[in-house]
Amino acid sequence: MVVPHHATGARLARHRLADELADVVPPTLLADLVAVLAELVGNAVRHADPLPGGVVRVAWRLRAAAGGPTVQLRVTDGGGASGPLMRIAAPDAADGRGLHIISGLASRWGVERDGLGQSVWAEFDPAGTTRSDLVVAG
């Protein structure tokens, strides 16, 4: 799906994901997916350039697995001056926690770059893959 490179893009993506997966994944997993997708799109809007046309591309892939569905979320944008970096946020800071949220909820996440921009992805594995396995490619 393609959403505007604007704050409304995160809302549109969250609602579409929730509508499409509500009857397919457990409610707790769906809540995690919605939270992480909102962070990924929000980060793309705040920290990266849009793709041509002023948009961000959002995708998800669901695969059946023995322990439950495996889901990958992917948000592709035009890239920014620097890639996503986890930082330490002060207790009273208004931002800086998004990648920590993603790392805490997803089994693993990473960044892939190419000549057109970057994709930030997060995977949810019911087998309990170790979290915080950042993978950077490109």
* DSSP 8-state symbol, 51: B
Residue 13: strand pairing partners: none
Instruction: Give tens-digit pLDDT for 45-63.
Output: 999 999 999 999 999 999 9
* DSSP 8-state symbol, 69: -
Per-residue pLDDT, 52:
96
Per-residue pLDDT, 40:
95
Handedness of CA 121, 59, 45, 95 (dihedral sign): negative
Per-residue pLDDT, 49:
95
Token output for 6: 């604007």
Q: Whole-prediction pTM value? A: 0.83
